[in-house]
Amino acid sequence: MDANERLVSFDDEPLIVVDEQDNVLGYQSKAEVHRGAGILHRAFSVFLFNHRGEVLLQRRSEAKPLWPLYWSNSCCSHPRRGEGLLEAVERRVPEELGVAPDVEILFRFQYDAPFGERGSERELCSVFLGRSGEAIDANRREIAAWKWTSVRQLEADLQLAPDLHTPWLKLEWALIRDQHRSTLERYTRMSEHPRKECLS
């Protein structure tokens, strides 16, 4: 099997069930925590930027049970039982994207998002930012398509076609833009030019 078609996500993988203060309550399978209204569990989202200050978006695989073929942030997943957040990020980003960037945690927040009768996301999600100059080698089992896009274009796309994007992308991007502007500007500043990109 081609490395970028490797199976890296499993319905029975044990995820970390938590309360709203992030205290561990136990462990349940990925399928169980996303069933019905969902069970609160730890998760993470990563936004990767390149040297031009563009952010990487991925279009989720058609095989995903929740939000298939929706555009989302660079990578999002869950730490498994016995796995720390950074350890999980350092595992999952290479599994999905074929790159291994340095990342930093920006904030943590809780959200609930139902997807009709198929299930729900109910996550205590830690959001990371990172930068990568490596070529993306996307795992085709997880990702249908990907693109680098400017902040300005992302803002326009979220305004014009919000229903094509995952709910967590929209929530996280609004928090990054509105509450962490200085950090965002550090990542969107082109490395070969000191000018900052203006945010609309």
Domains along the sequence of the chain with CATH? 11-188 (3.90.79.10)
Burial class (CB in 10 A: 0-12, 13-18, 19+), 77: buried
- What pLDDT, on a 0 to 100 scale, did the predictor assign at position 198? 33
The catalytic site residues sit at 76, 123
* Tens-digit pLDDT profile for residues 34-64: 999 999 999 999 999 999 999 999 999 999 9
pLDDT for 194 beyond 70: no
Rounded average pLDDT over 88-115: 97
Q: Give me the chain's average pLDDT, please.
A: 92
Kind of pairing between the strands at 71-72 and 55-60: antiparallel
Query: If 0-12 CB within 10 Å is exposed, 13-18 middle and 19+ buried, where does residue 5 land?
Result: exposed
pLDDT of residue 2: 53
For residues 77 and 88, what is the distance between their CA atoms, to the nearest angstrom?
8
Q: Is the pTM of this model over 0.75?
A: yes
